[in-house]
Amino acid sequence: MRQTIIFVTCMIAMAFGLMPQQDYRIVGRWTEHWGTDTVHPETDVLYVDTITVREGNKGLEIFCHHDESYSYDKIKVVGDSVWFRMRNADSSTPERPFYVNFKLKLVAPDRMEGRIFNSNEETVDIVFKKLPIQ
């Protein structure tokens, strides 16, 4: 009986927005695309990173498969929008860390579009494409 009361209380709290809800639509492996894959292709970024978004103990976690010097934090999902920050340890110094702030919108189940804003005060369009589950 007690478990039923706790379950019902949690369901009511989620329905009224009193408890955070995870958005599982962005969980998975994604490739980031710059340049010709975006609306405004002005960029000198010529690589494609693969990142994973997964459920962690304290919410969503992000990590890059190709570069361990990238760390991600400030992950926030609201509706179809997601924001997060990446720190590039290789391009940072203790006195001047290099950050890339991502702001993306889920436009299809397998595609997010948006922009990045970085420590060099650059703004660049970006597309994330979801990889099929293997």
Tell whether 109 is covered by a domain. yes
Per the structure, the complete domain to which residue 36 belongs is given by: 23-130
Predicted local confidence at residue 18, as pLDDT: 46
Q: Which two tokens stand for residue 5?
A: 């009361």
**Residue with structure tokens 């494609």?**
48
- Please indicate whether residue 1 or residue 16 has the higher confidence score (pLDDT): 1
CATH number of the domain enclosing 61 = 2.40.128
Query: Structural domain tally of the chain?
Result: 1
| Collapsed DSSP state (helix, strand, coil) of residue 112 | strand
Compute the distance between CA of residue 116 and CA of residue 85 in angstroms, rounded to an integer. Answer: 9
Cβ(19)–Cβ(25) below 8 Å: no
Residues 15-63 have pLDDT tens digits of 554 445 556 789 999 999 886 555 555 555 666 789 999 999 888 999 9
Predicted local confidence at residue 90, as pLDDT: 80
Question: pLDDT band at 13, cuts 50/70/90?
Answer: very low
- Please indicate whether residue 82 or residue 96 has the higher confidence score (pLDDT): 82
Residues 92-127 have pLDDT tens digits of 677 788 999 999 999 999 999 999 999 989 888 899
Tell whether 8 is covered by a domain. no
Tell whether 13 is covered by a domain. no
Tell whether 48 is covered by a domain. yes
Predicted local confidence at residue 73, as pLDDT: 95
Predicted local confidence at residue 37, as pLDDT: 57
